[in-house]
Amino acid sequence: MSKPYYITTAISYPNGRPHIGHGYEAIAADVSARFQRYMGRDVRFQTGTDEHGLKMAQKAREVGQTPKELADEMSSYFIDMCAKLNISYDRFLRTSEDDHHKASQAIWQAMKANDDLYLDRYEGWYSVRDEAYYDEKELVEAKDSAGNVEKLSPQGTPVEWTVEESWFFRLSKYEKPLLDLYKAQESFIQPDSRRNEIMRFVEGGLNDLSISRTSFDWGVRVPSDNDDSKHVMYVWVDALTNYLTGLGYPEKTADFEKYWPADVHLIGKDITRFHAVYWPAFLMSANIALPKQIFGHGFLLSKGQKMSKTIGNVVDPIDLADSFGVDQLRYFLLADVNFGQDGSYSAEAITLRCNADLANSFGNLAQRTLSMIFKNLDGVINFDYQNGADDDALFSTIDEVCQKIMPNAFENLMFSDGIEAWMRAVNACNQYVDDQAPWGLKKTDPERMKSVLMTLFAAIRDLAIAISPVIPEKSAAILDQMNIAGRSFADLCNDDWKKDVNGFILEKPIPAFPRLEMPTED
């Protein structure tokens, strides 16, 4: 039986249309999910939208809609984005759905049963944009456009002094258990820079956390004995519970028993605290197993700047995919950005990288090899040949990359490292073509020409399978032309496929990666 693997993205806040940062996280999670399926795992992949909270209620008033109408409209744009970017999720969860309300109320009752909730009065700083509370010591001061000094959150967002009745969670009770967790399981928070930040935060002391609001009603209602509660849940109690909802919680469903605890919550670095402090504390309180890892990736910057509506550099991922191609965009984002760190993109950078790696290197390798087979061997695939030393050396390089280096890198979410190794193998193939010069062997040594072309045919098959989690459509297009059926890691590691392909007649090949034109303006 294959080993289960459960991966989630953060659920996106849909008070506006998706931007490329949302697409970046969805693509990274999708590549990981596809890779794990490729490795034979039983994968569950969940994404969705976080639709409650004051920010959504305020936005709905601004545009003359109810919060539900706004959520319905905006969530559809995120679903469209996932469809366009070829995101292979198993469930797109919306927190406004009934089963999520049930799950959120169940975890609330479990925490209350553990005596971790109490009613009190909240007075403090709150950021509507972050949906987060901040201590005075966390705030920074800055001057507004008029020169007045204002207080801002650590994220640079406005804060307001809030006073209202609230339910509190005894977060202070979990300070030591959390620190013990971080020390016992160093991989729980990754990368290490995020782990160190969170440990310093918790070591500074934890205050109990306000987890309900009465100033608005767009959210999951706090359960009460007589069903008259004025409180709705603090959005992060509601939002974080989505990871359980998708598996059927609070019922002990087959999916819950199989996939929980999650293998990784893939999130942006700005919400690491909520996932690495609040979430495990909630789960400890509710006596639910903890996820295995929280991975906080970096920001995707536009020409070195954080995306902002004020600056006007927010980019629609669907527009980028239409301009450059879906697989080209997927490839660039994971090849060019060291996952876990901040990365930058521009139209020029996408064009240069994709032309160099995909069009000129791998695409050209596949196209000229298949074209030579079509022209010089009448398209017939025949593995009745003897390997030479140069052929064996090339296969050794490709096996090392495709069967060892890439799987190890992708397993650890080191996508750019894996792709860099893949490109070394592609370059080795192109160097082999130049060294062997099969175009000159037809008259002088036709048998050697056949062995060179069949070596390259096999190499391209391996390279296309190995990179398929990143560029699934283009890899499939190449493998379809080659009549390759088995496309998993297990298939990659044996030669049985040659029996099925032997005798196949290749049709005139179609280029997979046309060159991109350099944009005239970004």
Label residue 228 by pLDDT band (50, 70, 90). low
Percent of the chain at pLDDT above 90? Answer: 82
- The more confident residue out of 281 and 138 is 281
499's enclosing H/E stretch is helix 497-501
pLDDT in tens, 312-363: 678 899 999 999 999 999 999 999 999 999 999 999 999 999 999 999 999 9
| Chain centre distance of CA 308 | 21
* More reliable by pLDDT, 490 or 130: 490
- Start-to-end CA span in the chain (Å): 49
Residue 226 has pLDDT above 70, yes or no: no
Question: Cα–Cα–Cα angle for 394, 398, 399, nearest 5°?
Answer: 115
DSSP 271: G
pLDDT for the residue numbered 134 = 83
pLDDT digits (tens, 9 = 90+) for 98-129: 999 999 999 999 999 999 999 999 887 888 77
Q: Give the per-residue pLDDT at 145.
A: 72
State phi, psi for 330 to the nearest 5 degrees: -55, -45
Could you tell me if residue 494 is inside a domain? yes
Residue 411 inside a domain? The answer is yes
CATH of the domain at 485: 1.10.730.10
356 CB neighbour count, 10 Å cutoff: 11
What pLDDT is stored for residue 427 in this prediction? 98
Task: Quick: pLDDT tens for 139-162.
Answer: 888 877 777 878 898 878 888 888
pLDDT for residue 304 is more than 90? no
Residue 227, pLDDT score? 59
Q: Tell me, yes or no, whether 274 lies in a domain.
A: no
Please check the confidence at residue 250 and state whether its pLDDT lies above 80. Answer: yes
Average confidence score pLDDT of the chain: 94
For the chain, the domain total comes to 1
Q: Does residue 182 carry a pLDDT above 50? A: yes
Enumerate the β-bridge partners of residue 465. Answer: none
What is the average per-residue pLDDT within 412-435? Answer: 98
Residue 297 lies in a domain: no
CB distance 295 to 198 below 8 Å: no
Residue 297, pLDDT score: 97
Q: Which tokens in the block code for residue 170?
A: 């005894």
The answer to whether 206 and 171 are in contact (CB under 8 A) is yes
The mean pLDDT value for 207-226 works out to 90
Helix, strand, coil percentages (3-state) for the chain, rounded to 5, are: 50, 15, 35
Residue 425 lies in a domain: yes
Using the predicted structure, report yes or no on whether residue 399 has a pLDDT greater than 60: yes
The answer to the question of residue 157 being in a domain is no
- Say if residue 85's pLDDT is above 80: yes
Query: Nearest 5°: CA angle at 28, between 335 and 183?
Result: 105
Q: What distance in Å separates the CA atoms of residue 403 and residue 224, rounded to the nearest whole number?
A: 55
Q: What is the pTM of this model?
A: 0.92
pLDDT of residue 163: 84
pLDDT at residue 149, as a whole number: 79
CA–CA distance, 210 with 358 (Å, rounded to integer):
51
Q: Residue 396's pLDDT is what?
A: 97
Answer whether residue 234 is part of any domain: no
Bond prior to 191 in cis (omega within 30° of 0): yes
Sequence-distant (≥ 6) Cβ neighbours of residue 191 within 8 angstroms? 295, 296, 340, 341
Q: Which is more confidently placed, 137 or 42? A: 42
Residue 522, pLDDT above cutoff 50: no
Q: Is residue 463 part of a domain?
A: yes
Query: What DSSP element (H or E) covers 506?
Result: none
